[in-house]
Structure 1
Amino acid sequence: MKIITETERLIIREFNLGDVQAVLHFNTPEEVNRFTGDAGLCESLIDAENIITDIWLKEYQAHGFARWAIVLKETNTVIGFCGFKKETRIDGVDIGYRLHPDYWGKGYATEANQACIEYAKKNMDLNHVLGDVVHENTASANVLKKLGMGFQSQYQEMGFEVDRYEIFLKD
């Protein structure tokens, strides 16, 4: 279990197969996937295991990074994911996050992803990071803005207006 970084309240680490139940738990609520295009992709422990094995573990091997687990220090509970993904669809690196609704509105998404950005500046060969958010998802847009990301453009995808934000990590 590789720890990436820590904050006062959170541990950011790589996912492992011990996280199957947690991955199912934070992906199951309908409101979590309302704006992601991922609805229905994680409805069983097998689906969660496949996400860990076929996506995250493979991306750690191929790129050295993928989405990372957000662990609440106080309870040692995996509450969601954060971090980067090499996204062929956008020909770049995307920052993303997903939390179980029980943990919304507490600053965890901002805290976790700010730690990821600081980690990337010091330890990763990343210069440019994108963040896409459905226009009406103002809470997620606010997280991207708090991370220092600036609005770049807007486009249509899957029936949504999507706002693209960006940040440059190197001077």
Structure 2
Amino acid sequence: MKTILETERLRLREFSLEDAEFILALVNTPAWIQYIGDRNIKTPGVAEEYIQETLQKSYAKNGFGLWLMERKEDEESIGMCGLVKRQSLEHVDIGFALLPEYGRQGYTLEAAKATLQYSKEKLKLNTIVAITDPENIASIGLLHKLGMQFDKKLQLSEDNTVLLFSE
């Protein structure tokens, strides 16, 4: 399990197959399903497939991806944060999700700030964007705290309109 970066309270590392139960829990939270969408990951086996086919493939192909957020103090897996290269977007975007019981404690802001710094200093990415559901008030607030500004509405698919933010 390769550690990508550390903050005061968190370690961000690559996902491994051992994280399947955590992925299963995270992608089936009400907020994930409402704002990100139902990925139809309902069993540990499908969660392992998602880790291999989506998360680990991104590490191999792009040199980055979505990383597991774990607390240093107890190695508890609490969420994910990282970078995504989508065919539908010109630039790499930052993404994050957190188990609800760890919300409103500053973890996502801490991880996202470190991810943006890492993207500039280590990956030499000049532009990072973010997309979010228009009704995801918490995510919009976090993007503002990161210094990102609303850019425009984007139609990703027939039934998926998102807000695009940029630095």
Q: State which drifts further: 158-167 or 131-140.
A: 158-167
Which residue of the partner structure matches residue 3 of structure 1?
3
1:162 shift after superposition:
2.1
Which residue of the partner structure matches residue 98 of structure 1?
97
Which residue of the partner structure matches residue 83 of structure 2?
84
Give the Cα separation in 2 of the matches to 1:93 and 1:40: 21
1:125 shift after superposition:
2.5
For structure 2, the residue ranges without an aligned partner over 5 or more in a row are none
Show structure 1 runs of 4+ deviating over 6 A.
none
Which residue of the partner structure matches residue 33 of structure 2?
33
Which residue of the partner structure matches residue 74 of structure 1?
73
Give the Cα separation in 2 of the matches to 1:78 and 1:16: 12
Q: Is the 8 A contact 1:32 1:101 kept in 2?
A: no
1:41 shift after superposition:
2.2
Q: Please show how residues 118-129 of structure 1 align to structure 2 within 5 Å.
A: 118-129=117-128
Q: Please show how residues 12-161 of structure 1 align to structure 2 within 5 Å.
A: 12-37=12-37, 39-157=38-156, 159=159, 161=161
For structure 1, the residue ranges without an aligned partner over 5 or more in a row are none
Give the Cα separation in 2 of the matches to 1:106 and 1:116: 17
Q: Is the 8 A contact 1:32 1:100 kept in 2?
A: no
1:92 shift after superposition:
2.3
**Structure 1 length normalisation: TM-score?**
0.90
The residue identity in structure 1 corresponding to 2:67 is W
Residue deviations 1:1-20 (CA, integer Å, cap 9, x gap): 11111111110111111111
Residue deviations 1:21-77 (CA, integer Å, cap 9, x gap): 11112122223220112x142211112101110111111111101101100112201
1:150 shift after superposition:
1.4
* Number of aligned residues: 166
Root mean square deviation of aligned Cα? 1.5
Tell me the SS of whatever aligns to 2:8: coil
The residue identity in structure 1 corresponding to 2:144 is K
Give the Cα separation in 2 of the matches to 1:9 and 1:41: 31
% identical equivalent positions: 35
Q: Is the 8 A contact 1:27 1:100 kept in 2?
A: no
Give the Cα separation in 2 of the matches to 1:163 and 1:139: 13
Q: Is the 8 A contact 2:27 2:39 kept in 1?
A: no
1:129 shift after superposition:
1.1
